[in-house]
Amino acid sequence: MDCWSLLLPLLLSVLLSSLSPATGLRLTDTKLPSTHAKKLIRDLNLFPKHSVNIVDRDVTNTSSAARPKIVEKRFKFPNFVDPDGVSIEDLGHHAGYYQIEHSHDAQMFYFFFESRKSENDPVVIWLTGGPGCSSELALFYENGPFKIGENLTLVWNEYGWDKASNLLYVDQPTGTGFSYSSDKSDIRHDEQGVSDDLYDFLQAFFGEHPELVDNDFYITGESYAGHYIPAVAARVHQGNKAKEGIHISLKGFAIGNGLTDPAIQYQAYTDYALEMGLIKESQYKRINLILPVCEAAIKLCGTDGTISCMAAYLVCNGIFSSILSSVGDINYYDIRKECIGSLCYDFSDMETLLNKKSVRQALGVGDIEFVSCSTSVYQALLMDWMRNLETGIPELLGDGIKLLVYAGEYDLICNWLGNWRWVHAMEWNGKEQFNASSEVPFEVAGTEAGILKSYGPLSFLKVHDAGHMVPMDQPMAALEMLKRWTEGSLRETARDPESLVSSM
């Protein structure tokens, strides 16, 4: 009997139970993944014109060998309010396209911001999740050099991560943001494709910037990047060990409010919701009836890897949907807040800004329109959703590559409790010592900004007064976290906290 035959009776029982008010599950919509993707986008007040950046152009007579791997330009946003009048050369801001090597015609767009402090600062790449959302969400609303001001002007972000690193933002997977292709087969469906593309990009980027090759390198991001980040870290480490190309000085990777080990994290949904007073005990018990089916479906996804992964997505997201149906208009990215109708955050200024003709000209993207979040990319990765990406992490830790898992305490969708549990359950050579280590306050500017636990290369930080997007909710603490972690002093108190607020 195959795996699908084993799963089918379980899934049918779930579908039947969805008709009963006893569980509150709502799995009757056959377009559920599409509905989820559209809701994700609308909740952020984003309205991309296209579902994916697939463009109409003929490349049949164009030799890939004749095209440069990377086309990069220095630029300055036309709406940047710069009181110092810094030149484009001195500003050190770059935008570019990478011709993805193992693709038909995929072009990966990226931003690169030189450190405002020192060219010797580490190189940090940021990956936004979704899946299918552009990293420009973080650039303008979390940890980039700018914040969007009145009338779409850009002003310096005093807590931008370019104050402590040479900072990269990449629109990926293909079809997201300004990244595009003329061939739908370039859309990626798993972490193998995602990580290979990013590894090839990094090889080309460091080839373009040899002055940065010896700098420490860190991979960061949040949400569904809890899948991307471990996969990319493993791919870079593999390339280094096999001497495939340029040696990338990978020192660590950081996952913020991520989805990494679904089996453990989906179990934590009801526990977190009950602990935070979002659901009652009776609702907790009813929703938990689905847990054994969710766990079985995820297990089959890990071994079978085909239709069982779609079944796991449908079944397990019934847990999350049931919680939401019980709590009304709560903002699942930050349970302290409410959504007004379908609006949980308003990120529409970013979309308007990046689709302005003057901005597109400055960036060199031509007529490519900005796709803030791609429903097509989201759906293409459905078979990847319930995969466990924790499995490759122990080897990285064993080889001394650092991992920081951090989570805002008020996020529901990728809550701190689920992240805490998978980190503690992970089998690695320092598990016993890490689990036995004490929690210590993480202090920033004389205030406790979180609770930290660490041993050897592994650290976990629960961030106070923050939701899903920690750098947006706690920008000072997030920048200090990055600085101390990359410097190897995460457990220490900031030496000069006044410098963080001197410009306020």
Q: Which residues are catalytic?
A: 223, 411, 468
- Pairwise CA distance, residues 46 & 351, whole Å: 7
Burial of 242 per CB tally in 10 Å (0-12, 13-18, 19+) = exposed
Burial of 501 per CB tally in 10 Å (0-12, 13-18, 19+) = exposed
378 token code pair: 């989201």
In DSSP notation, 386-421 reads: T---GGGHHHHHHTT-EEEEEEETT-STT-HHHHHH
Q: How many CB atoms sit inside 10 A of residue 235's CB? A: 22
| Residue 447 per-residue DSSP state | E
Q: Which residues contact 143 (CB under 8 A, 6 or more apart)?
A: 126, 157, 159, 160, 161, 471, 475, 478, 479, 482
- Pairwise CA distance, residues 390 & 418, whole Å: 13
Backbone angles phi, psi at 134, to 5 degrees: -70, 145
441 token code pair: 């306050």
- Pairwise CA distance, residues 250 & 233, whole Å: 8
Backbone angles phi, psi at 121, to 5 degrees: -65, 155
Q: Which residues contact 230 (CB under 8 A, 6 or more apart)?
A: 253, 255, 260, 389, 390, 392, 393, 396
Q: How many CB atoms sit inside 10 A of residue 421's CB? A: 17
